[in-house]
Amino acid sequence: MSFIRDLIQRFQQNPGNALIYLLMSAVSILTCLIVHEVAHGWVALKCGDPTAKMMGRLTLDPRKHLDPVGTLCMLFLRIGWARPVPINPSNFRNYRRDYILVSLAGIAANLFMFLLGSVAMILLYKHTNAGWIDYLIQFLQMFITMNLSLAVFNLLPVPPLDGFRFLNQFIYKGQLRLAPQTMQMIQIGFLILCFTGVLNGLLSTVISAIYNAVVPFLFRIL
């Protein structure tokens, strides 16, 4: 895994910088995963469903959101997930519209943070020369990459990701129902693709294409 190799090399070269790099990775992961899930719960609340709020999920406390396997995947593979926020669609004012909005809320939040972080990174790079800024720029670069990765990952039409819920409501009007055994088989196969790096390679191509299109464009106009 490239992250592990990179981290080992950093520790061999400069343990202090390696610890800073590890800390920046942890903060980036926590932020993008937590905000993603809180966005789901917040939009659900605005649509009439208080389930996430009642279960204490509208909080920035990592203990309420992080999934051990998903967090490790995010750290080492740059794709991952948190514990899904519980929702009760029967509370929605407009079932289909609100279900779609809630499904896309986490992705929208990550894309917003990607854009906001990109703007901050570019402005710092262009207008600040202090030495410590290099660390902040490195953090922002990691931050925007992880947010973009999480957004693209969740667009995949695979249960239980947001892309599947959106596809089911927008295209199939909620009529696409999979048996529990089928869901389990899909999820196991999906995890295998994640851990073998097959999916990571495909997503990295898409993520790099978006990053290389958006960030240079913002660099030119800011």
The pTM for the full model equals 0.88
pLDDT in 10s for each residue of the chain, 222 residues: 566 677 677 777 878 787 888 888 889 988 999 999 999 999 999 999 999 999 999 999 988 888 888 777 777 776 777 888 999 999 999 999 999 999 999 999 999 999 999 999 999 988 877 777 888 999 999 999 999 999 999 999 888 889 999 988 888 777 777 777 887 788 788 778 777 777 878 888 999 999 999 999 999 998
Q: How is residue 91 annotated by DSSP? A: G
d(CA 32, CA 171): 28
Report, as residue numbers or ranges, the catalytic residues.
Answer: 37
Residue 6: the pLDDT is 72
How far, in Å, CA of 188 to CA of 37, rounded? 22
Q: What is the per-residue pLDDT for 71?
A: 79
The pLDDT value recorded for residue 69 is 81
3-class DSSP state of 129: coil
Question: Counting beta carbons within 10 angstroms of the beta carbon of residue 76, is it exposed (0 to 12), middle (13 to 18) or buried (19 or more)?
Answer: middle
CA distance 148 to 111: 6
Instruction: From residue 183, give the alpha-carbon distance in Å to each of 52, 160, 177.
Output: 24, 9, 10
Structure tokens at 89: 């669609």
CA angle, 101 as apex, 31 and 80 as ends, to 5°?
35
